[in-house]
Chains A and B, each alone.
Chain A
Amino acid sequence: MAPTNASRIVGTRFPTDEGRRLAEVLLARFSDWSSLRIDLTSCDSALLISAFFNSFLQTVSEQDLSRLNDARKIDWNLQYSFQKCNVEEWMRDFQPYSVY
Chain B
Amino acid sequence: MTIHIAAASGNHAVLLSDSQGSSNEAESHGWHKQFIGRNFVVGLAGADDLGLNIPHTELEDKLIAALYYADAAIESLTVDDSFAVAILDSGRSYLTGDRTLSLRYVPEPIIQFWNQVSACWKPMQVTIATMNSELESAYRRFSNIRSGMLTGIDLKELERSNLAILANRQKLVEQLVDLKKTYEELMLGDHPAQFT
Contact = CB atoms under 8 A, between A and B. Distances in A.
Interface in A17-75: 44-51, 54
Contacts of B51: none
Interface residues of A, number: 22
A49 B164 contact: yes
Interface in B103-138: 123, 126-127, 129-130, 132-134, 137
A68 B132 CA distance: 29
B171 A82 contact: yes
A45 B160 contact: no
B127 A82 contact: yes
B126 A50 contact: no
B137 A49 contact: yes
B130 A100 contact: no
A79 B161 contact: no
- Interface range for B: 20 to 34
B98 to A, nearest CB: 15
B149 to A, nearest CB: 15
Contacts of A16: 137
A59 to B, nearest CB: 14
Contacts of B137: 14-16, 49-51
B157 interface: yes
Given A46-B132, A46-B133, A82 B153 contact: no
A51 B161 contact: yes
B140 A14 contact: yes
B156 A48 contact: no
B153 to A, nearest CB: 5
B168 interface: yes
Contact of B164 (A50, A80, A97): A50
B152 interface: yes
Contacts of B79: none
Given A51-B137, A89-B167, 12 more contacts: A14-B137, A14-B140, A46-B133, A47-B133, A48-B130, A49-B134, A50-B157, A51-B160, A79-B126, A86-B130, A90-B160, A100-B153
